[in-house]
Amino acid sequence: MGKFIDISNADMSFGRFQALSNVNLQVEQGEFITLIGHSGCGKSTLLNLIAGLTKPTSGALICAGREIDGPSPERAVVFQNHSLLPWLTCFENIHLAVERVFGGKESRKQLDERTWKALELVNLVAAGGKRPNEISGGMKQRVGIARALSMEPKVLLMDEPFGALDALTRAHLQDELMRIVSATGATVVMVTHDVDEAVLLSDRIVMMTNGPAATIGEIVKVRLDRPRDRLALAQDPLYIDYRTSVLEFLYHRQKRPVAQAA
């Protein structure tokens, strides 16, 4: 497969502060990429560039052969804050996104079917009539993921979507995400601070150097068979090696970029 997302020589400055410097990254269609690094290393800034929420100071970003020049439903974003509208039900929150993307060309029945299908994908059909204050934090995040997937995006962008959840809920949603990605074949770029999450979910882990002027320091290709079982992987020598490599970068090499791995 060729380059689906192509980031070339991207710089990003906010006034005199340079957040990113000379970022180069190519992502294949269907690949799961995680961005990891210390706070302030530009992970979310890079995700926002891919989303089209901000434009680079210099350089180019291409998705599916077209320049990224603004937000688009083809690049759906899931934030740490679920951002659900509290006065709408779970169904209505998703339906709002479905209507925005498909409302001009599909009937109300088709839009409803898309919405229920998205809820079914995250196992929340029974919660469709509930409002955000009537469901748990983990369920809210699942609604946020369903809303993003309901738009049939080419790329799913996730900014620490499980960061505010307890450990057991987080583990459950990681398993759910692996199942959903396997079912949909989505291309995913995800920001995380969690090393175990990065190794469990990723095809490649992109490790960012410290800011300012952060860039890609190293890339680890995760050669673990899918589907992945977290309990089995806990004792897998390869899993342990990948985890150790990421930790060593974060603790010892984050200031000294080296040649990137393929």
The tally of domains found in the chain comes to 1
Give a yes or no: residue 181 inside a domain.
Answer: no
Give a yes or no: residue 114 inside a domain.
Answer: no
Is residue 79 scored above 50 in pLDDT? yes
Q: Give tens-digit pLDDT for 43-61.
A: 999 999 999 999 999 999 9
Give a yes or no: residue 129 inside a domain.
Answer: no
Is residue 261 scored above 60 in pLDDT? no
Give a yes or no: residue 175 inside a domain.
Answer: no
Is residue 192 scored above 90 in pLDDT? yes
Comparing 116 with 83, the larger pLDDT belongs to: 116
| pLDDT band, residue 2 (cuts 50/70/90) | low
Give a yes or no: residue 21 inside a domain.
Answer: yes
Q: Alpha carbon 78 to chain centroid distance?
A: 7
> Could you tell me the CATH number of the domain that includes residue 219?
3.40.50.300
Is residue 183 scored above 80 in pLDDT? yes
For 223-230, what is the mean pLDDT? 93
Give a yes or no: residue 243 inside a domain.
Answer: yes
Q: What is the span of the domain harbouring residue 253? A: 1-73+189-262
DSSP assignment string, 69-119: -S--TTEEEE-SS----TTS-HHHHHHHHHHHHHTTTS-HHHHHHHHHHHH
